[in-house]
């Protein structure tokens, strides 16, 4: 069911500062910032040869990233994203295995313009998993 690792997402309290740090200290190639109001975040991707790192900043106090940063003020790993060939089939399989899909269970469009779903971290050793249709 799982395809390649698409990205690891890091919540950051200041996206501009995080981008500058990645650019100056690591020589990172960065995507332009993108607001995703449906997800309550502003994102930038650090482009690597074999995957990406997603830097997430909250859009407002109701954002899930704002809540994450309340508990982790310096930021940290928020989720890991895997590609799947068929998102609906992956969702149905996971639900059949007892996993819980967050939200209403229906895909939303993610930062890459592809459908995504999130799986409850309590079902995967405390790790929030995003599934993205390849």
Catalytic residues: 130
CB atoms near residue 85 (< 10 Å): 11
Q: Find the DSSP H helices in 46-85.
A: 64-71
Residues 26 and 71 sit within 8 Å (Cβ to Cβ): no
The number of residues in the chain equals 134
Q: Are strands 41-47 and 52-58 parallel, antiparallel or unpaired?
A: antiparallel
Q: How far apart are CA 82 and CA 34, in angstroms?
A: 20
Q: Which residue has the tokens 């599934």?
A: 131
Q: How far apart are CA 72 and CA 60, in angstroms?
A: 16
């Amino acid at each position: 069911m799982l395809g390649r690792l698409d990205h690891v997402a890091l919540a950051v309290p200041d996206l501009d500062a995080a981008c500058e740090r990645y650019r100056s200290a690591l020589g990172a190639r960065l995507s332009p910032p993108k607001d995703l109001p449906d997800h309550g975040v502003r994102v930038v991707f650090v482009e690597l040869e074999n995957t990406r790192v997603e830097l997430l900043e909250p859009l407002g106090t109701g954002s899930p990233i704002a809540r994450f940063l309340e508990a982790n003020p310096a930021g940290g790993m928020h989720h890991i994203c895997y590609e799947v060939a068929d998102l609906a089939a992956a969702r149905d399989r996971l639900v059949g295995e007892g996993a819980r899909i967050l939200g209403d269970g229906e895909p939303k469009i993610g930062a890459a313009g592809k459908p995504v779903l999130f799986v409850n971290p309590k079902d995967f050793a405390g790790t929030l998993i995003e599934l993205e249709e390849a």
